[in-house]
Structure 1
Amino acid sequence: MEICPYLEETFKILGRSWNGLLINYLSRCDDRAAHFSDIKRDLKSITPRALSLKLGELAEWDLVEKKVITTTPLSIKYVLTDKGYALSQAMIPIEQWAQNNLELAEEVNSH
Structure 2
Amino acid sequence: MSEKVDTTAECPAEAMLKSLSGKWKPQILRLADEGTLRFNSIMKVLQGANKQSVSVALKELEEEGILSKTIVSQKPLHIEYSLTEKGRGVIPLLLNLGGFAQEHGSAKDVK
Same fold (TM over 0.5): yes
**Paired residue for 1:22?**
28
Q: Identify the residue that residue 74 of structure 2 maps to in structure 1.
A: 71
Deviation by residue 1:28-70 (Cα, 9 ceiling, x = unmatched):
x23xx11101111111121111111110011110111111112
Alignment partners' CA distance in 1, 2:21 and 2:55: 18
Count of residues paired in the alignment: 100
1:60 corresponds in structure 2 to 63
TM-score, normalization by structure 2: 0.78
Ranges in structure 1 where 5+ consecutive residues have no aligned partner: 104-111
* TM-score, length of structure 1 as denominator length: 0.78
Partner of 1:5: 11
- Who wins on radius of gyration, i.e. which is larger? 2
**What CA distance in whole angstroms lies between the structure 2 residues aligned with 1:100 and 1:40?**
30
- Is contact 2:68-2:84 (8 Å) kept? yes
Identity %: 23
The answer (yes or no) to whether the contact 2:71–2:78 under 8 Å persists in 1 is yes
Any gaps of 5 or more consecutive residues in structure 2? 107-111
